[in-house]
Amino acid sequence: MQKFPENFIFGAATAAYQAEGATKIGNKGKTYWDDYLAEQNVFDPSTASDFYHKYREDLEVCQAFGINGIRISIAWTRIFPNGTGEVNQSGVDYYHELIDTCIKNKVEPFVTLHHFDTPDPLFKLGDWLSQEMVTAFVDFSSFCFKEYGDKVNYWITINEPWSVVAGQYIIGHFPPNKQYDIPKAIQAMHNMMVAHARVVKVYVAGNYHGEIGIVHILESKYPISDKPEDDEAAMQEHVLANQFMLDVTFNGCYSEESLAVVKNILKQNQGELIIREEELEILSDAAQKIDFLGINYYASHFLKAYEGESLIHHNGTGEKGSSIFALKGIGERVSNPKIPTTDWDWPIYPQGLLDMLLYIKEKYPHYKKIYVTENGMGDKDLLTNETVNDDARIEYVRLHLSAILKAVEKGVNVQGYFIWSLMDVFSWTNGYNKRYGLLYVDFDTQKRYAKKSAYWYKKLAETKELL
């Protein structure tokens, strides 16, 4: 039996656009998802899990189930419907009430400022490729700090820069749906890190009492064989998706090692990265000031060398075995017969989380602390007798928590875990049949049903014992 430290946070995560719904209520402005999803006419995000109306009930459930932390995000377009300019008071009031309700229920809010939901007008200006976006994000964040800074203890600047840029410019399942444009992805990722750093600067200058950090998706990358070229492929994807941003997060600059790999990838993809002189100091300053790193971890990947043109197929339906992910000049993700996968082809590999935690401790020994800000298993749950017997999810979570405890035993400072997700939510590129929640949501009635995993998690949070 393994035991968690007394003050460990057993949290659950949500994100505004995926949980709140109410996309046209309270004078909310559009994000770049609204028109795109309406045009596609496949998934309707407008009600999602109706957290906008049901948060009081959901937070009471958190308290009843021993959940003492929640990730929420502030929908930028509830506060500034156009991204900049006029403030929408009903949006401002909504987040006051939401944050107050978290606190009232003794559920610590970890508040994210950007979780994939850029306002539409700023998206049209180029999103993270434009400087207007960066400046507008700093202004929005500064507004949130002034408004909520006295009651929020934990702020997250940006959720998963890599997923945003990979979705927008490499995989093509996030608007503007470009594929294989690796140079744009790298530039946007750099600009996001600059935006993060500028926001950290504003927070520190404001002398707020809380802590600030960033969340990265970090997936370990392994060669599928001992061939040197497969090793090279794994190393390249690791640098591009993990190390490049970890370097700047903790060291405030890109290491020679990362830059060499990224420059090579850029050369093969006919592109360049522009880093402005004035950004260097801001990046360096923020690296010294951030309080924590959030890690979102779901899967790791096994790679082999790949010489062909980039080719990707996103499995958004849960049809097992339909994913393809091969990038020119980098490598191809392949299945490892020894490792199980979810129906969405995500390898289930808790060792990858342990390896990543140990890697951070070794490579960036001056990191302060880590929260695992998302981890969970997407599945096609079936509601039977008002519950879901989600044993596979319980096992998934148990194995990942065990990996975290092993890391803690080896000296990694991990202080909390947030299961993705509190309730079933809208999945950006998979819609509603990929469910992760502790609470099953009937999306027709919005009624919640606690899954078996919710009772399991309750016991864990109460006893701190991982059986």
Give the footprint of ligand BG6 on this chain (CB under 6 A).
Answer: 15, 18, 159-160, 163, 217, 296, 374, 378, 420, 427-430, 434
The smaller minimum CB distance to ligand BG6, of residues 237 and 279, is found at: 237
AA letter at 11: G
The smaller minimum CB distance to ligand BG6, of residues 11 and 223, is found at: 11
Q: What is the DSSP string of 322-356?
A: --EEEETTTEEEE--TTS-B-TT--B--HHHHHHH
CB of 180 to ligand BG6, least distance (A): 20
Q: What is the CA radius of gyration of the chain?
A: 21
CB of 421 to ligand BG6, least distance (A): 7
The smaller minimum CB distance to ligand BG6, of residues 44 and 139, is found at: 44
| Closest-CA residue to 300 (of 352, 344, 340) | 352
CB of 68 to ligand BG6, least distance (A): 21
The smaller minimum CB distance to ligand BG6, of residues 34 and 160, is found at: 160
Whole-angstrom Cα distance, residue 448 to residue 232? Answer: 47
Residue 374 a catalytic site member: yes
Whole-angstrom Cα distance, residue 176 to residue 104? Answer: 40
Strand partners, 213: 156, 292
CB of 374 to ligand BG6, least distance (A): 6
Q: Count CB neighbours of 409 within 10 A.
A: 9
Asked if 451 and 44 count as a contact pair (C-beta separation under 8 A), the reply is: no
Which position has the token pair 């507004």?
143
CB of 173 to ligand BG6, least distance (A): 9
Given 279, 362, 374, 465, which residue is catalytic? Answer: 374
Asked if 154 and 213 count as a contact pair (C-beta separation under 8 A), the reply is: yes
The smaller minimum CB distance to ligand BG6, of residues 227 and 380, is found at: 380
- Closest-approach residue to ligand BG6 (CB): 427
Number of H helices, E strands in the chain: 16, 17
| Closest-CA residue to 50 (of 5, 18, 90) | 18
Instruction: Name the DSSP class of 31.
Output: B
Q: Which residues are the active-site residues?
A: 374
